[in-house]
Amino acid sequence: MSDEWPKIRSRRTIEVSQWMNLVARDVEFAPGEAPQTYHAVAQQDYIAILARTPDGRIPIVRQYRPAVEKFTWELPAGLVDPGEDAAEGCRRELLEETGYPARAIHSLGATIPCAGRLSNRIHSFFVETGERVADFKPEPGLTVELVTPDALVRLIKAGDFLQQMHIGTLMQAELHGLLKLPR
């Protein structure tokens, strides 16, 4: 294909909720070919946070996820608010979900969670925390646990830590030399 193709011939956005839109794109791949319609979910960028507390443990959260109809163990995470810098969103989400303030934030990069269906990005961060704030109360329905890297690997291998984007954040931290997971 040349740089001129494919061409987007039309784009329609359907608002589904405050959290997402459905985007339909009619794409022509070569001159004279009939356009094909592709759908994508448009939503705000994500944030995934791999944090390390002063004693070397990793905060993870358990919450009910209606999309998969079950509880999941995940890294602290959330959406980047409109107009918000992703690093500031990281600081906000970590404190809201775990009660740990960010002492140092290291960007691991922004990646694409699913190039076939999602049009947003995931901003991954490694955070060195301070001590947990004294009056922290978890959000309703959210459980916070502190785990060692060994325990986190056991959760992944057992199929209890399933969020692929968060597993990717762990890999990014390893590639940046910020985390060593046992094999």
180 part of a folded domain: no
182 part of a folded domain: no
38 lies in the same domain as 56: no
Question: pLDDT digit string (tens) for 89-141?
Answer: 999 999 999 999 999 999 999 999 999 999 999 999 999 999 999 999 989 99
71 lies in the same domain as 85: yes
147 lies in the same domain as 68: yes
119 lies in the same domain as 53: yes
Question: pLDDT digit string (tens) for 55-75?
Answer: 999 999 999 999 899 999 999
Contacts 24+ apart (CB under 8 A), 82-87: 82/44, 86/45, 86/47, 86/110, 86/123, 86/125, 87/123, 87/125
Q: In what order do the strands lie in the sheet with 58-65?
A: 70-74, 58-65, 143-147
Question: pLDDT digit string (tens) for 19-51?
Answer: 899 999 999 999 989 999 999 999 999 999 999
Print the domain residue range for 26. 7-42
Phi-psi region at 46: left, alpha or beta (left = phi > 0; alpha = psi -120 to 50):
beta
Sheet strands (E) in the chain: 7-15, 21-28, 36-42, 46-52, 58-65, 70-74, 77-79, 102-111, 122-129, 143-147
2 part of a folded domain: no
Residue 1 pLDDT > 70: no
Report pLDDT for 183.
87
User: How many domains are there within the chain?
Assistant: 2
Q: What is the pTM of this model?
A: 0.91
102 lies in the same domain as 25: no
154 lies in the same domain as 170: yes
114 lies in the same domain as 131: yes
14 lies in the same domain as 77: no
What CATH number is associated with residue 119? 3.90.79.10
Beta strands at 70-74 and 58-65: parallel, antiparallel or unpaired = antiparallel
Alpha helices, H only, the chain: 86-98, 149-157, 164-175
Per-residue pLDDT band for 2 (boundaries 50, 70, 90) equals: low
Report pLDDT for 87.
98
Average pLDDT, the chain: 95
55 lies in the same domain as 14: no
